[in-house]
Amino acid sequence: MNRILLESAEVGADGRVTLKDRQAAHVLQVLKSRPGDGVRIGVIDGLRGSAQVTSIEPGAVQLSCTLDTPPLPSTRTTLLLALPRPKVLHRLWAPLASLGLDRIILTGAAKVERQYFETHWLTPEAYHPLLIEGLEQSGDTRLPEVTLCRRFKPFIEDEADTCFAGATRLVCHPYAEKPLAAVLPAHGHPVVIAIGPEGGWTDYEIGLLQEHGFACASFGERTLRTDTAVQAILGAVLAR
Amino acid sequence: MNRILLESAEVGADGRVTLKDRQAAHVLQVLKSRPGDGVRIGVIDGLRGSAQVTSIEPGAVQLSCTLDTPPLPSTRTTLLLALPRPKVLHRLWAPLASLGLDRIILTGAAKVERQYFETHWLTPEAYHPLLIEGLEQSGDTRLPEVTLCRRFKPFIEDEADTCFAGATRLVCHPYAEKPLAAVLPAHGHPVVIAIGPEGGWTDYEIGLLQEHGFACASFGERTLRTDTAVQAILGAVLAR
């Protein structure tokens, strides 16, 4: 945990906060802080800052916070991801938040199994703590916006053009002629990157994405597991 | 498993192979192959190719192999990684092989805990099957070369210049001025990328790397978990 994140309602008008449970335990047992020590804090979807430990009681740590720094700059990157298996989805939430995505759109596809949509890892109560864990790791405060679009075709046909207006749209496809590096726009320009399911997008899905402004790009001939593919491809996109 | 990998000694002079155990189970239960069906095969550190199922007996599958395709082109990429925690090392072996690294050099560093070197995940018997799993996923046949250099200083001082002759040498450092994308060489040019431990390289280590030709590059301000950092940074390097 590189930054302790608070809900805005937890911070008093005078900047005082009482940490309990997991966060108090982190300050006491991992940071081993004492009164007077500093810790990094932030407000979810708000400012970053620092805090001083003012007092320590059993199970509770009092902080005095100074929140004066905006969130990290937006990466202007949206991930459009064919819903992976529940185990993989679970593993990906924290890394996706830590990488600083603006938006995560999970979609159905021909090769996405129907029962994947029944996982509790798609409920905000389950994934919100994992997104927070990712932000506490990265030091940022801004949560990615998460959307579930179960039906791929109507989403791409009816919403993609509005939803992705002004963004460079890319879809990773192993047989694409152009390498990913050749189609990435300059740093700061918004990007939507579509990553398919295990087994890939169908030709129909690729065609539909192309009709709606997505350019095909290759990340090489190696077939990667979804979690490796997502982190490696996002690495290439975020380093633009 | 996108390609079944064999030891060269397993393939008879006439191209016949008998699969057993895990590989036979994959052909029978996952691929559900029948006599006459084709499967993708390859020889570890050798040719890729295809095979036809010639007969199926309980627990054994006979194949007739045609090995006629060279391994995938080398990525010409070496990872110099400060040894991560055993759990993370375990998780990384297969993804590192699947990404197509040429070499993986694991090294000590000031912030690498000594007991990490005692893990059995550093023994070839433990990691070799995980590297094979990564290649079976990616479809390649070439194993990365793995080296353990426990002592960072003598390795960098005495061996790095010879070991990395002709390669662009980069070290990821959050406070570097230049972004990674600005210092990556062209596709095909060899690269060594150094990634530090949780908590980062010390100033001394960064200085030593710089004295031996490593340029500092930033992957952004977010602090990433080692496994996310490795996969994302390698994604950026491999997409060059």
Give tens-digit pLDDT for A112-135.
Answer: 999 999 999 999 999 999 999 999
Residue B19: which H helix or E strand, with range?
A: strand B16-20
Residue carrying structure tokens 């129907």? A114
Q: Within this chain, do residues B57 and B138 fall inside the same structural domain, yes or no?
A: no
Q: Within this chain, do residues B101 and B184 fall inside the same structural domain, yes or no?
A: yes
Cβ contact A99–B219 (<8 Å)? no
Cβ contact B239–A179 (<8 Å)? yes
Q: Which residues of chain B have pLDDT under 50?
A: none
Q: Are B46 and B69 in contact (CB under 8 A)?
A: no
Cβ contact B2–A137 (<8 Å)? no
What is the Cα–Cα distance from B106 to A225, expressed in whole angstroms? Answer: 23
Q: Within this chain, do residues A37 and A81 fall inside the same structural domain, yes or no?
A: no
Give tens-digit pLDDT for A167-206.
Answer: 999 999 888 999 999 999 999 999 999 999 998 999 999 9
Q: Which of A69, A98, A119 is the last residue of a domain?
A: A69
Q: Within this chain, do residues A65 and A86 fall inside the same structural domain, yes or no?
A: no
Q: Within this chain, do residues B229 and B145 fall inside the same structural domain, yes or no?
A: yes
Residue A173 region, left (φ>0) first, then alpha (ψ -120 to 50), else beta?
beta
Q: How far is B22 from chain A (nearest CA, A)?
A: 19
Residues of chain A found within 8 Å of residue B137, distances taken between Cβ atoms: 223-225
CB pairs under 8 A between A and B: 111
- Measured between CB atoms, which of B140, B222, B234 is closest to A99? B222
Q: Within this chain, do residues B86 and B203 fall inside the same structural domain, yes or no?
A: yes
Amino acid at position A157, single letter: E
Q: Within this chain, do residues B55 and B168 fall inside the same structural domain, yes or no?
A: no
Residue B65: which H helix or E strand, with range?
A: strand B60-69
Report the CATH number at residue B58: 2.40.240.20
> Which residue in A231, A233, A237 has the most chain B C-beta atoms within 10 A of its own C-beta, making it the best mutation to test that interface?
A231
Smallest CA–CA distance from A2 into chain B, residue: B223
Position A58 scores a pLDDT of 85
What is the Cα–Cα distance from A130 to A148, expressed in whole angstroms? Answer: 17
Smallest CA–CA distance from B72 into chain A, residue: A221
Q: Within this chain, do residues A111 and A32 fall inside the same structural domain, yes or no?
A: no
Closest CA to B222 of A77, A118, A140: A140
> Which residue in B92, B136, B228 has the most chain A C-beta atoms within 10 A of its own C-beta, making it the best mutation to test that interface?
B228
Residue B188's alpha-carbon distances to A186, B127, B171, in angstroms, are 22, 28, 19
Tokens of B25: 């189970």
Q: Within this chain, do residues B203 and B94 fall inside the same structural domain, yes or no?
A: yes
Q: Within this chain, do residues A134 and A98 fall inside the same structural domain, yes or no?
A: yes
Q: Which of B47, B69, B91 is the last residue of a domain?
A: B69
Q: Per-residue DSSP letters for B48-104? A: EEEEEEEEEETTEEEEEEEEEEPPPPP--EEEEEE---HHHHHHHHHHHHHTT-SEE
- Measured between CB atoms, which of B140, B222, B240 is closest to A222? B140
Report the CATH number at residue A161: 3.40.1280.10
Q: Within this chain, do residues A15 and A45 fall inside the same structural domain, yes or no?
A: yes
Q: Which of B28, B50, B69 is the last residue of a domain?
A: B69
Cβ contact A234–B235 (<8 Å)? yes
| Count of domains forming chain B | 2
Give tens-digit pLDDT for A27-68.
Answer: 999 999 999 999 999 999 999 999 999 999 988 999 999 999
Question: Residue B40 belongs to what domain range?
Answer: 4-69
Cβ contact A95–B240 (<8 Å)? no
Position A175 scores a pLDDT of 83
What is the Cα–Cα distance from A205 to B181, expressed in whole angstroms? Answer: 31
Q: Within this chain, do residues A56 and A114 fall inside the same structural domain, yes or no?
A: no
Residues of chain B found within 8 Å of residue A99, distances taken between Cβ atoms: 222, 224, 228, 232
Position B58 scores a pLDDT of 85
